[in-house]
Structure 1
Amino acid sequence: MSSSPSSSAQAAREAVAARLKEMRLDAGLTGVELGVRCGWHKAKSSRIENARTPPSDADIRAWTRICGVPEQATDLIAASRTAETMYVEWKRKQRTGLRRLQESYVPLYERTRQFRVYSSDVVPGFLQTVDYATALLAAITEFRGIPDDVSDAVEARMARSQIIREGRRRFAFLIEESVLRYRIGDRETMSSQLEHLLTTMSLPTVSLGIIPFDVDRRIWPMEACYIYDDQLVQAELLTADVSISTPGEVGTYLKAFARLQEEAVYGVKARTLINSAIDALG
């Protein structure tokens, strides 16, 4: 995968910054002169041009107006907003709780036909039981110190996950064997979750591959990622949700996913790993 999951976002910010600098140079203005005419501190122009400070909509409108190209403001504002939504910290997305975040993915799910999901730490949301999701979202709520709407968030997650049973889409899930062993919730919760995997992997829309501990790795365990129709990747970091749409970077994720598929086991072998994990629970 890419060296930095946030590189697409940074590249988008730098593209906006470069265009603003180009406008200033075309207008024959120095950064100080631009700042004076815009009514802000002389260092602000430099921070914006070096992509250290994202410009606000008002900043862009002032910049383009002073440079004599106000008609370009709309496109630049759109590009700047896109850049800022590529890398979004969880504390921003979850500040009001988790229910709205669960619901916000529904439009994306509805327009996607091919899902590829990789996880090295937890069972993907599509495949979670109510109790497992409750334990996981409760842990997230406590860790981040956000409003507790876990019950509503779980209900929303369960509702959106019904999409795997509709038959019009295809889901390829890859999980590390560690996902079967990491204890989320109590023994009963984990056992029920593993039993649920045995049930859902038989759905005609679902392919579930498990990468065993003892496989000879050609690609290392990585951050969880969701790939939508070869067009968009969402990588989940501890601190942020990263959206990647640059074709080259999406292609790198697709390459990594394909290699992980080659290392995974399916069918009877996958069921054996799941049953082994169930047995280990006692």
Structure 2
Amino acid sequence: MARSPSSSVQAAREALAARLRDIRLDAGLKAREVAVQAGWHPSKASRLENAVTPPSDADIRDWCRICGADDQAADLIAASRSAESMYVEWRRLQRTGLRRLQESYVPLFERTRTFRIYCSNVVPGLLQTPAYATALLTEITNFRQTPNDVTEAVAARMDRAQVLREGDHRFAILVEEAVLRYRIGDAEVMAGQLGHLLSIMSLPAVSLGVVPFTASRHMWPLETFSIYDSAQAQVELLTAAVNVTAPSEIEQYARAFERLSEAAVYGATARTLITKAIEALG
């Protein structure tokens, strides 16, 4: 089984710590000497070198100044910020509500040409109806106890979904059959959402596949993830968004998507599964 999706975060932190240690060794200094010259607690330099404590921008500048490597400070600060942005708690992203988070994806969506999206729990955001999005975002707001701006967040999500019909984009989207059955909102909301999926399937830029309960599969159900071109993958956990940028890890998600695609059904067969889910609503 693949390692935790947050592994790239720790790997990035450890790589940064190793660079700090190499700079110190090149300067011929001991860790304690760096700490003393920086005015830190004696153990801080060791914590930084062992990726126990993430360095602040000021810590990196001080470290490089003391070790005579000022020219490396900017690159190290950039690497540090990148590492810290890989794993971001939803609580931090949603501290002012959900609208700004929806809007923050617009630049990424506009520059991405090929989207690969896999959802095992809910209908992907780009395919949601206003009623379904309202029901889902209301539950998220209540669970995370964030400011309630659901109406504005839904409007932003609908605006964002225009990318399906505008520009030069392609969407390969997979959902587990369970997504068609999990009831978000009432039966009327679900019927409208499932009907919307049937209409979305006719869009030329969209390929929608459903992985049936009965599929003979070579990839187990995973956490929801999206791949943006081949530059970035985002994994959605309960508590955080994990932004994967390491090529080797993006490749793993791409390979998983390929295997899930092989287990999925499309076209008329997928429509039948969606129609049966609508009929099951009673």
**TM-score, structure 1 length as denominator?**
0.98
Measured against aligned partners, the alpha-carbon deviations of 1:159-194 in whole angstroms (never above 9, x if no partner) come to: 010110125211010000000000101111011000
> 1:14 maps to which residue?
14
Q: CA deviation at 1:39?
A: 0.7
Measured against aligned partners, the alpha-carbon deviations of 1:69-109 in whole angstroms (never above 9, x if no partner) come to: 11111110011001110111111111111100000000000
Preserved CA contact (<8 Å) 1:167 1:205: no
Distance in structure 2 (CA, Å) of the matches to 1:38 and 1:151: 50
> 1:193 maps to which residue?
193
Q: CA deviation at 1:216?
A: 1.6
Q: CA deviation at 1:252?
A: 0.9
> 2:225 maps to which residue?
225
> 2:133 maps to which residue?
133
Preserved CA contact (<8 Å) 1:114 1:171: yes
- 2:61 counterpart of 1:46: no
Measured against aligned partners, the alpha-carbon deviations of 1:124-181 in whole angstroms (never above 9, x if no partner) come to: 0000000100111111111111111111000000001011012521101000000000
Q: CA deviation at 1:272?
A: 0.6
Preserved CA contact (<8 Å) 1:95 1:146: yes
> 1:181 maps to which residue?
181
Amino acid at match of 2:123: V
Distance in structure 1 (CA, Å) of the matches to 2:106 and 2:57: 28
> 2:234 maps to which residue?
234
> 1:60 maps to which residue?
60
Preserved CA contact (<8 Å) 1:129 1:193: yes
Amino acid at match of 1:226: S
- 2:194 counterpart of 1:204: no
Amino acid at match of 2:28: G
> 1:252 maps to which residue?
252
Distance in structure 1 (CA, Å) of the matches to 2:119 and 2:196: 17
Q: SS of 2:17's equivalent?
A: helix
> 1:102 maps to which residue?
102
- 2:171 counterpart of 1:171: yes
Distance in structure 2 (CA, Å) of the matches to 1:80 and 1:178: 39
Distance in structure 2 (CA, Å) of the matches to 1:34 and 1:82: 24
Distance in structure 2 (CA, Å) of the matches to 1:190 and 1:257: 26
Q: SS of 1:88's equivalent?
A: strand
Q: CA deviation at 1:11?
A: 1.2
Structure 2 unaligned regions, length at least 5: none
Q: SS of 1:214's equivalent?
A: coil
Structural mapping, 1:75-154, within 5 Å: 75-154=75-154
Q: SS of 1:155's equivalent?
A: helix
Amino acid at match of 1:55: P
Preserved CA contact (<8 Å) 1:134 1:154: yes
Preserved CA contact (<8 Å) 1:226 1:234: yes
Q: SS of 1:217's equivalent?
A: coil
Q: SS of 1:42's equivalent?
A: coil
**RMSD, matched Cα:** 0.9
Amino acid at match of 1:179: V
Q: CA deviation at 1:2?
A: 3.4
Amino acid at match of 1:73: A
Distance in structure 2 (CA, Å) of the matches to 1:189 and 1:139: 14
Q: SS of 2:43's equivalent?
A: helix
Preserved CA contact (<8 Å) 1:2 1:249: no
Instruction: State percent identity of aligned pairs.
Output: 65
Amino acid at match of 2:7: S
